[in-house]
Amino acid sequence: MWHLEEFCGVKLRCRAWLTEVASGGTGSAGPRLCPPHGSQGWPELCAHPGCPGSEAPSNFPHQRERPGKGAHRPKPGIQPRGNGPWLYRAPAQDGAAVPESPWEQAKHTEQHEGCLYNIPLEEVKAVFPHGLPYRFQQQIQTFNEARVMVRRPALEILAYLKGSNFAHPAVRYVIYGERGTGKTMTLCHVVHYCSRQGWLVLHIPDAHLWVKNCKELLQSSYNKDRLDQPLQASVWLRNFKTSNERFLQEIKTQKKYMWGKRESTEEGRPLGEVVEQGLARVRSASDAVGVVLREIKQQSHRGSFRLLVAVDGVNALWGRTTLRKEDKSPVSPEELTLVHNLRKMVRNDWSGGAVVTSLSQTGSLFKHSSAYTPHELLGKEGFDALDPFVPIPVANYSPREFESCYGYYLERKWLQHEKAHTEDGKAELQFLSGSNPRQLDRLAGPL
């Protein structure tokens, strides 16, 4: 018996079945196996308007049927229900294999733009132990799933990474755009892709937290001219350990490190021992971060691992801070041990990976609220430090992306207002939000 998917109480026949029936096949060969799951059936069809996998063959009359009723035509934009990896199954083009699961992110192409794919919740905890943007975390808790939209800026970066020669110096990418356009989620998409491709990911989820509101600021024991932030350093080490645990035993230290008169890490020991030292002795956590970054950077050219340096809010590394010394004089970013070491990582004097950063006005200090370009947010010092880089602009939703997001909210019954389901209601949401992802999310909440 052929596999059936259920969508909003409607039985949905798989595309392979539709194709076989439309072509006059009898199905005598028996049920086919679903490649990603190894079980009978296929991933569900897409209800996304314009998606190449959304329509049944032209000579087959009904795509969906209600028991005892006539043909049923789904509302445009509504996404299928379920926890499958994809919201659609698109046909292959030019002989290319079609992504069957999020593990095949490497096969994301322009045909997937605007569609949503699912990241398993256990995957979210492993790849993003620090959490995701606050509003997106709320959405995950509400819908009990993590759906990420495939957008053009992320596809552009993924295409560049696939075509990179990692024997050359690391290429730097700077994601920028106006407020609420999805810069952080674009960076998270790249982080998830690299993590699933087996890269070592050095992720700084918000660099602005390192230059403001620090509860503890201590003089460095390694360099008296610098200041340590043990609490921030220990939190980062814990998250780094969670997301890159398998590398911590493979990478060995290249020299001996002294942590005090009696404590040291010998040459040739696993890098995990350095991380544990920073977690066990919080006072030396900032120095442990510096050692981890130094060892990773020096060994990335060997080819045993690919390195992604991902920094959200990279403009925080240059400019001003809100921190004060004991004498009440201001602290400059270069005086902070964490910032000093992170600046070294965003240089292009190493090979074997890439640097993907984003600019953020949300947490930036002493910048005009309308500033969003690299020149405005980085300033001359920061711009010169990152130059040359590949700019990646992120704009508001395209019509297709807006339709996809709107349909997802409808399908999840997030839009309860009676007029939100009408064409006029959709047009009003699009007008009021300006197709800005953040504004659409805020407008949809009370509805």
pLDDT category at 325 given cuts 50, 70, 90 is confident
Residues 6+ apart with CB under 8 A from 208: 313, 316, 360, 363, 364, 365
Which two three-digit tokens encode residue 267?
Answer: 């040459």
Mean pLDDT for the stretch of residues 251-269:
91
| Kind and range of the H or E run holding 176 | strand 171-176
Percentage of the chain lying above the pLDDT 70 cut: 75
Domain spanning 152-393, CATH architecture: 3-Layer(aba) Sandwich (3.40)
Angle in degrees, 0-180, between the axes of helices 230-243 and 271-280, rounded to the nearest 10: 140
Q: Is the pLDDT of residue 350 over 70?
A: yes
Mean pLDDT for the stretch of residues 300-309:
93
Predicted local distance difference test score (pLDDT) of residue 416: 87
Angle made by CA atoms 394, 81, 104, in degrees to the nearest 5: 55
Contact 174, 386 (CB under 8 A): yes
Angle made by CA atoms 264, 265, 269, in degrees to the nearest 5: 165
Distances (CA, A) of 230 to 114, 223, 288, 348, 447: 41, 15, 10, 27, 43
Q: How far apart are CA 110 and CA 126, in angstroms?
A: 28
Mean pLDDT for the stretch of residues 279-296:
94
Per domain, the residue ranges of the chain are: 4-149, 152-393, 399-444
pLDDT category at 7 given cuts 50, 70, 90 is very low
pTM of the model: 0.76
Q: Is the pLDDT of residue 134 over 50?
A: yes
129 torsion bin: left (phi>0), alpha (psi -120 to 50), beta (else): alpha
Lowest mean pLDDT among 106-115, 164-173, 287-296, 379-388: 106-115
pLDDT category at 104 given cuts 50, 70, 90 is low
pLDDT category at 105 given cuts 50, 70, 90 is low
| Kind and range of the H or E run holding 123 | helix 121-127
Identify the residue with better confidence: 113 or 364. 113
Predicted local distance difference test score (pLDDT) of residue 355: 97
Mean of per-residue pLDDT scores for the chain: 79
Token pair 């050359």 in the structure block, residue: 168
Predicted local distance difference test score (pLDDT) of residue 117: 87
